[in-house]
Structure 1
Amino acid sequence: MRKIFLGFVVYALAELALLIVVGQNIGVFSTLLLIIATSSIGVYVMKNKGMNSIQNVKQTMASGEAPGAALVNTLLTFSGGLLLALPGFLTDLIGLLLLMPFSRKMFQPLVYYWMRKQMKKGPFIIVQR
């Protein structure tokens, strides 16, 4: 529990320090506009790209195939959009990395590892509605 709390404190301080540095270099108004712009892009990505990815998962499942790759891409796309929607430059950087196809390949093995770990713990159920 202490490690999680410490992680949040370190993250918040790093994000705040980065906001101050960027604000001093490009100005407060420009920094706020940049944060609003990236948040708007994140909401757009979650809404449009995320829904397209969910449709791909449904089509894959409807054709009788395992939705593994489509599910991982959906998870990464939605997570990238969510991180972009959150205010801050560190979350924006990670969100952009999750959205770019060439860097998304870096994160796919981590998601597969996490999914396998969850499946070993017990039932891993994907509900189709």
Structure 2
Amino acid sequence: MFFRLFLILLIVPVVEIYLIIKVGQVIGGVATVAILLLMSLTGAWLIRHQGGRVLTQIRDELSQGRLPAAQLLDGALIFIGGVLLTTPGFFTDFLGIFFLVPSTRRFIKLWLGLWLQNKISRGGFVMRRHF
């Protein structure tokens, strides 16, 4: 687990720098910065719009006495998308918007459900306590 996290923290910035340099070579530095800013503003608007909608849905579910599990997962995915959008770069912006758009978020939720089901069926969630 630690090695995977280390690889992600090492590879993602290298990919971001590479993409920014390549895009900057093709369209110029000012246009590259403008696109990155536009992506961040679009992401901020999507976060505000989608996050507000999910909060309303959570409030409605709770007022009806139901557990808002799907809405809480949506909120977590929107949060992850927001964090990715605050990271400068094209790769993380693409992933962030992928997490924020409802139609693509459905695919992520489906994949997470299948992954979780597979983990549970194989006994992959075992709590270990180290004292």
The alignment's TM-score, normalised by the length of structure 1, stands at: 0.76
Match in the other structure for 1:10: 11
Alignment pair present for 1:39 and 2:40: yes
How far, CA to CA, are the matches of 1:54 and 1:121 in structure 2? 32
User: Retained in 2: the 8 A contact 1:57–1:67?
Assistant: yes
Alignment pair present for 1:29 and 2:25: no
Match in the other structure for 1:96: 97
Residues 82 and 18 of structure 1: CA distance in aligned 2, closer, same or farther (over 3 Å): same
Mapping of residues 55-70 of structure 1, within 5 Å: 55-70=56-71
Structure 1 residue identity aligned to 2:43: G
Shift of 1:32: 0.3
SS of alignment partner, residue 65 of structure 2 = coil
How far, CA to CA, are the matches of 2:96 and 2:4 in structure 1? 23
How far, CA to CA, are the matches of 2:31 and 2:99 in structure 1? 25
Shift of 1:16: 0.7
Aligned-CA RMSD value = 2.5
SS of alignment partner, residue 7 of structure 2 = helix
The alignment's TM-score, normalised by the length of structure 2, stands at: 0.75
Which digits, 9 at most, give the CA deviation of each residue in 1:18-40, with x for residues without a partner?
11111111110000011111112
**Which runs of 5 or more structure 2 residues have no equivalent in the other structure?**
none
SS of alignment partner, residue 62 of structure 2 = helix
| Number of matched pairs | 120
Match in the other structure for 1:126: none
Which digits, 9 at most, give the CA deviation of each residue in 1:38-76, with x for residues without a partner?
112222222332122112111111111221122222222
Residues 70 and 3 of structure 1: CA distance in aligned 2, closer, same or farther (over 3 Å): closer
Q: Percent identity?
A: 28
How far, CA to CA, are the matches of 1:51 and 1:121 in structure 2? 35
Residues 48 and 121 of structure 1: CA distance in aligned 2, closer, same or farther (over 3 Å): farther
Shift of 1:110: 4.3
Alignment pair present for 1:51 and 2:32: no
